[in-house]
Amino acid sequence: MMRFIFIAALFFFLMDKNDTVPVLETGSEKPMPNEWIDKDTQHRIIKLSRRDGDSRSFYFHNNPFIHQTGDEGDLMVFYGEVDSLRQLFTVNMKTFEITRLTNHGNQIRGEIVAPERREVFYQSNDSVFATNVDTQTPRLVYVFPEDFKAGVTTLNSNETLLAGSYADPVKDEIYKKNPDKSSYFNLIYEAKIPHTLFTLNIETGKLNKIYSERAWLNHIQFSPTDPNLLMYDHEGPWHKVDRIWTIDVTTGKNQLMHEREMDMEIAGHEFFSRDGKTIWYDLQKPRGETFFLAGVDIKTGKKKLYEMDRNEWSIHFNQSPDQALFAGDGGDPTQVAHAEDGEWLYLFTPKGNRLESEKLVNMQHHGYRPLEPNVHFSPDGKWIIFRSDFDGEVNIYAVEI
């Protein structure tokens, strides 16, 4: 009898607690509250960027997290706008405390977190810096020489090497004259501009040029487990390129990871699995008709294809820490899938050769162009983090799985 009374009391306590969280159409209020229940999905959403000014989470394949040392809460690094300049901040995923990391007088770029070093790497003009997330102390890492003004984009798994690409200055001229992606994308691809992949030793400052080609080399990512394996793509119109490649930074061995098999086939927005054994990517055979999340085993080349419906296609996908689930950020009708009902954040569960989807957030009030949500799983796998402008300015949110 006492056990029944305890369970009943707990049930009503939880009901009362949930009653304090409003049930709302996501994006129907400007601004939205710090916490609400999406009326269409019944999933709880919280705002992580509780500060003035635009705040943006990282691109989908760039890890933003630094694990807690005790039980103080994991940190997530993000960009926040201050006086029209981007600065780096952290938010404590447990307490929502926000700490400013940088105070640069110029724009900074680079979304590179070193969890073991507890540092974040970034670039301002020709200089690479690192700032400790606990002390907010910055240090100068490297200054690019006058004849090699390049940019870093990724850090290897043992946190010894940064990597990036250098492009002939004509590329910057194309950007300046054609700032819209619809203009510069084809122009840069067709120009066949010389590009060079390089690594930069963090401790010694040694720059090593590892590969050059007259092609647009982009989307550069180190493996999360192999410190010598770098992934890059041949950028350009996806139906014209065999896009996904890897290179061993010590031997220079190149490997094409997916070769197109039909006219208008496209593959892209590639990312490593959590264990570094697989490269996952958006695959359409042909473009805009049949949709898959595809994975290729890095060692064997064996492929795994999960099919999905048109409305379930997403601009970006990501994988849970235990590798059991995927998430997708959906897309509006102007995207390649031309989905009539695709403006959702999704949770995907593999079932046979398909992905079974669950809708997490109604994104009908989100502006997919130019702000893509870019989903991330939280370190504990319980939340999916995304960015959106549905409450009038850009903020970072988390939806509970």
- 191: nearest Cα among 208, 178, 204: 178
Question: Distance between CA 57 and CA 43 in Å, rounded?
Answer: 20
Domain membership flag for residue 382: yes
Residue of 280, 333, 334, 328 whose CA lies nearest to 308: 328
Amino acid identity of 173? E
Residue among 336, 348, 356, 352 at smallest CA distance from 377: 348
Report the pLDDT value the prediction gives residue 5, as an integer from 0 to 100.
44
Tokens 């401790």 belong to which residue? Answer: 203
Q: Which residues pair with 246 in a beta bridge?
A: 231, 255
Tell me the torsion sign for CA atoms 157, 161, 162, 164.
negative
**Owning domain of residue 292:** 25-51+274-401
**How many Cβ atoms are within 10 Å of 250's Cβ, its own excluded?**
12
3-state class of 173 per DSSP? helix
Do the domain assignments include residue 141? no
Task: With respect to residue 300, please indicate whether it lies within any of the assigned structural domains.
Answer: yes
Q: Is residue 356 included in any domain, yes or no?
A: yes
**pLDDT for res 182:** 83
Cα separation values, 134 from 62, 68, 101, 201, 320, Å: 20, 11, 9, 23, 26
Please state the φ and ψ torsions of residue 311, each to the nearest 5 degrees.
-70, -20
CA distances 295 to 86, 258, 312, Å, are 34, 10, 17
pTM: 0.94
Binning the chain into helix, strand and coil, the percentages to the nearest 5 are: 10, 40, 45
Q: Give the C-alpha distances (Å, rounded to integers) separating 168 from 122, 148, 192.
A: 22, 9, 10
What pLDDT does 181 receive?
86
Q: By three-state DSSP, how is residue 276 classified?
A: coil
Assign 150 to helix, strand or coil.
coil
CB count, 10 Å around CB of 131? 20
Distance CA 49, CA 217 (A): 33
Nearest to 230 by CA among 284, 172, 163, 166: 163
CATH of the domain at 345: 2.130.10.10
Q: Would 293 be classed as within a structural domain?
A: yes
* Burial of 352: CB neighbours in 10 Å, binned 0-12, 13-18, 19+: exposed
Q: Six-digit token pair at 334?
A: 């102007």
Q: Tell whether 57 is covered by a domain.
A: no
Alpha-carbon distance of 72 to 62, in angstroms, equals 23
325 lies in some domain: yes
Task: Extract the residue ranges of the chain whose pLDDT is less than 50.
Answer: 1-17
Domain assignment of residue 214, yes or no: no
What are the beta bridge partners of residue 130?
121, 139
Domain count for the chain, please give it: 1
Which of 393, 375, 392 has its CA nearest to residue 384? 375
